[in-house]
């Protein structure tokens, strides 16, 4: 126990100020353990001559540790001002705090595993007295990952390092170019030396060490070169698509959820090796923080996030071809039109931009963006028809941040990558569930015109048709939002059919009344009966044959003698049947118009 305490106290003796080389620079190195700020350093020591006049303090440093790296910014030593926490909470978040009698947290950002206990990670801090803007970013990146504007800024002239609890951190700061770096490199190339560490490393570990050493773990990303555009090819594999309508504050909002795996491919010219020197190893896997990767941001996302892609390893081959396959899961708003439900198709726009680099320095190419035979998504209510991409000049929330950070006033307007996702419903169960019953109910109802209007089967068919149509409409609302602005054509088809059947019920009631009073109402008009009894009209409307007067008297006598019930066709019966036939033709044409107005293809059903 005493030896452990002695070791920790030795680490906390940060006043030793050892020198260490990293990335061709000679840096002062200290160790910290436990919480407390003992040694203070000038924050404006390595700034240009006019930097302090403008009230800007900036310094960079490297830190290696498992978690809880603390930096204090102050006006004078031991007068606390701002505290920066990197990798707090077991290396899960970063925090900016201000000291006002007590340290108060001003902004917190979940950053994941931002520190590394095995490899130093580079950071920079910039504080402006005029604007009160405090920024913290990674070395090699232009934009901060956490920032905060103090309305009452404190001048920053000094800084100090600390840890928390038992966390041990190694700090490298006050870095200056090493004049012996080039000489050492020349001696290494000209003088044959023996690397004794190879006997302890496997070939894969040797390759990993050499690639990172040759390239530099925190070298500038390939997007910072304005003279060369980096080409990045994107291939999306959509595994889940879901479009749902919800209501918030009496406003309908349609949310598109996309899940899957994206494949990014680009070439890093700073990475290459000879596979024969490493036992024919031609591919290497690196952590996501060891190599640059695209940091795309979805601006029209429902849940704002720094990046919409998950953390995953990066694969690189001996020619510098880099492949990154992260998972994505994001939600965005999408304007939909349910008029053609359940055969509706929708176009959803995804506005993408970058967080750490300009889109103009990177050309994102969506692979197979012009093909319509995209991957079909299984086990989903939707299928992917096509995905297209193009660049647009549209202002995003990050433009204001970049304008505040950028020192140039002549920067070109920012462009964003816009993806257009075209989807359509994947299932055909709705076709058979709702459209086929519409056809069957129409046929059953129209078949009721083959019987007399006073028949009980006529009234029964009408009642059953109206009841079934109403039940189907009620069941349809389970799938179609009732607060939709436009009702689907299929639902309107059922409503129109109910209207026609209701009109038929009203007409049938009138005809039943006429049929019951035909014995007391005399004969129908002579012209009408003469027209209906002509052979052409009789055959065209398929009217029953009229019984003659003699046959009518004989039938009545037979009925009295035999007491049998037989149907006798009179002039009123012919008029009623003729009117029924004409109404049938009108209703048949109306029903066909309703079915065709839905714009449904029979081939899509079967």
How do residues 544-596 score in pLDDT, each as one tens digit? Answer: 565 544 443 344 444 444 444 444 456 666 666 767 777 788 888 888 887 77
How many independent structural domains does the chain possess?
3
The verdict on 145 and 220 lying in the same domain is no
Q: Tens digits of per-residue pLDDT, 406-432?
A: 544 555 556 777 888 888 887 667 767
Instruction: Out of 48-57, 224-233, 337-346, 502-511, pick the least confident.
Output: 48-57
Cβ neighbour number for residue 227 with a 10 Å cutoff: 5
The verdict on 488 and 441 lying in the same domain is yes
C-alpha of 533 from chain center: 71
Give the position of tokens 């947290």: 105
Question: Of 370, 404, 425, which closes a domain?
Answer: 425
The verdict on 340 and 473 lying in the same domain is no
Q: Tens digits of per-residue pLDDT, 556-566?
A: 444 444 444 44
On whether residue 189 sits in a domain, the answer given is no
Q: What is the pLDDT of residue 369?
A: 46
Confidence check: pLDDT of 147 > 90:
yes
Confidence check: pLDDT of 290 > 70:
yes
Confidence check: pLDDT of 485 > 70:
no
| β-strand partners of 531 | none
The verdict on 421 and 440 lying in the same domain is no
Do the Cβ atoms of 163 and 34 come closer than 8 Å? yes
The verdict on 166 and 270 lying in the same domain is no
Q: Tens digits of per-residue pLDDT, 425-483?
A: 876 677 677 778 888 888 888 888 777 666 777 888 888 888 888 888 888 877 776 55
On whether residue 368 sits in a domain, the answer given is yes
Q: Tens digits of per-residue pLDDT, 157-209?
A: 899 999 988 888 999 998 887 666 544 444 444 344 445 555 567 888 888 88
**Any alpha helices (H) in 251-378, and if so which ranges?**
none
Q: What is the pLDDT of residue 49?
A: 47
Q: What is the pLDDT of residue 95?
A: 93
Measured between alpha carbons, how far is residue 138 from residues 62, 224, 378, 395, 563 in Å?
A: 10, 14, 41, 25, 107
Q: What's the token pair of residue 82?
A: 């701002």
The verdict on 420 and 466 lying in the same domain is no
On whether residue 242 sits in a domain, the answer given is yes
Residue 534: pLDDT band with limits 50, 70, 90: low
The verdict on 82 and 214 lying in the same domain is no
Instruction: Out of 87-101, 336-350, 396-410, 555-569, pick the least confident.
Output: 555-569
Confidence check: pLDDT of 85 > 90:
yes
Q: What is the pLDDT of residue 552?
A: 39
On whether residue 168 sits in a domain, the answer given is yes
Do the Cβ atoms of 456 and 512 come closer than 8 Å? no
The verdict on 142 and 211 lying in the same domain is no
- Mean pLDDT, the chain, rounded, equals 74
The verdict on 209 and 271 lying in the same domain is yes
The verdict on 419 and 453 lying in the same domain is no
The verdict on 203 and 131 lying in the same domain is no
In whole angstroms, what is the distance from residue 144 CA to residue 291 CA? 18
On whether residue 474 sits in a domain, the answer given is yes
Q: What is the pLDDT of residue 82?
A: 92
On whether residue 62 sits in a domain, the answer given is yes
> Which range has highest mean pLDDT (55-59, 70-74, 367-371)?
70-74
Residue 396 vs residue 429, higher pLDDT = 429
Question: Of 425, 445, 467, which closes a domain?
Answer: 425
Q: Which domain holds residue 372?
A: 196-425
CATH number at residue 38: 2.60.120.200
On whether residue 185 sits in a domain, the answer given is no
The verdict on 433 and 421 lying in the same domain is no
Question: Of 393, 425, 457, which closes a domain?
Answer: 425
Helix 436-447 to helix 571-597 angle, to the nearest 10 degrees? 170
Confidence check: pLDDT of 96 > 90:
yes
Q: What is the pLDDT of residue 514?
A: 67
Instruction: Out of 34-48, 79-93, 549-563, pick the least confident.
Output: 549-563
- The verdict on pTM exceeding 0.85 is no
Q: Tell me the longest C-alpha to C-alpha distance in the chain.
A: 137
Q: What is the pLDDT of residue 543?
A: 62
On whether residue 187 sits in a domain, the answer given is no
């Amino acid at each position: 126990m005493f030896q452990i305490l002695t070791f920790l106290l030795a680490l906390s003796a940060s006043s030793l100020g050892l020198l260490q080389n990293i990335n061709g620079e000679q840096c002062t190195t200290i160790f910290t353990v436990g919480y407390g700020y003992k040694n203070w350093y000038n924050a404006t020591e390595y700034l240009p001559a006019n930097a302090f006049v403008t009230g800007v303090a900036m310094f960079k440093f490297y830190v290696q540790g498992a978690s809880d790296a603390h930096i204090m910014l102050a006006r004078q030593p031991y007068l606390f001002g701002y505290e920066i926490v990197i990798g707090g909470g077991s290396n899960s978040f970063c925090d900016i705090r201000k000291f006002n009698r007590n340290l108060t947290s001003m902004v917190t950002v979940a950053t994941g595993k931002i520190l590394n206990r095995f490899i130093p990670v580079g950071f920079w801090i910039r504080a402006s007295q005029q604007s009160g803007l405090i920024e913290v970013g990674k070395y090699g990146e232009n934009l901060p990952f956490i920032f905060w504007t103090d309305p009452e800024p404190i001048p920053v002239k000094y800084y100090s390092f600390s840890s928390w609890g038992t966390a041990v951190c190694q700090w490298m700061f006050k870095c200056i170019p090493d004049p012996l770096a080039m000489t050492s490199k020349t001696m290494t190339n000209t003088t044959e030396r023996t690397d004794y560490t190879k006997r302890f490393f496997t070939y894969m570990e040797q390759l990993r060490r050499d690639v990172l050493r040759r390239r530099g773990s925190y070298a500038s990303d390939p997007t910072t070169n304005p003279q060369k555009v980096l080409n990045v090819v994107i291939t999306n594999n959509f595994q889940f698509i879901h479009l749902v309508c919800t209501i918030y504050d009496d406003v309908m909002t349609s949310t598109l959820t996309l899940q899957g795996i994206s494949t990014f491919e680009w070439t890093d010219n700073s990475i290459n090796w000879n596979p024969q020197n490493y036992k024919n190893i031609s591919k290497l896997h690196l952590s996501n923080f060891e190599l640059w990767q695209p940091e795309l941001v979805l601006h029209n996302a429902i849940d704002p996030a720094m990046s919409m892609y998950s953390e995953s390893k990066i694969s690189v081959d001996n020619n510098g071809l880099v492949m990154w396959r992260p998972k994505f899961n994001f939600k965005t708003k999408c304007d939909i039109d349910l008029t053609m439900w359940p055969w509706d198709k929708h176009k959803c726009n995804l506005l993408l931009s970058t967080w750490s680099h300009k889109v103009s320095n990177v050309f994102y190419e969506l692979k197979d963006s012009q093909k319509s035979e995209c991957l079909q998504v299984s086990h989903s209510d939707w299928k992917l028809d096509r995905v297209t991409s193009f660049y647009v000049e549209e202002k995003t929330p990050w433009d204001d941040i970049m304008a505040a950070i950028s020192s140039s006033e002549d920067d070109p307007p920012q462009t964003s990558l816009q993806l257009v996702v075209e989807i359509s419903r994947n299932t055909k169960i709705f076709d058979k569930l709702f459209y086929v019953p519409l056809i069957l109910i129409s046929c059953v109802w129209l078949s009721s015109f083959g019987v007399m209007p006073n028949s009980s089967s006529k009234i029964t068919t009408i009642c059953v048709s109206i009841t079934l149509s109403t039940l189907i409409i009620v069941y349809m609302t389970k799938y179609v939002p009732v607060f939709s602005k436009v009702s689907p054509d299929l639902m309107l088809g059922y409503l129109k059919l109910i209207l026609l059947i209701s009109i038929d019920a009203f007409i049938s009631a009138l005809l039943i009344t006429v049929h019951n009073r035909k014995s007391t109402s005399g004969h129908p008009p002579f012209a009408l009966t003469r027209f209906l009894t002509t052979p052409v009209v009789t055959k065209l409307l398929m009217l029953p044959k009229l019984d003659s007067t003699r046959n009518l008297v004989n039938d009545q006598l037979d009925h009295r003698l035999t007491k049998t019930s037989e149907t006798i066709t009179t002039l009123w019966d012919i008029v009623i049947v003729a009117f029924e036939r004409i109404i049938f033709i009108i209703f048949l044409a109306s029903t066909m118009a309703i079915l065709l107005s839905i714009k449904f293809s029979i081939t899509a059903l079967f």
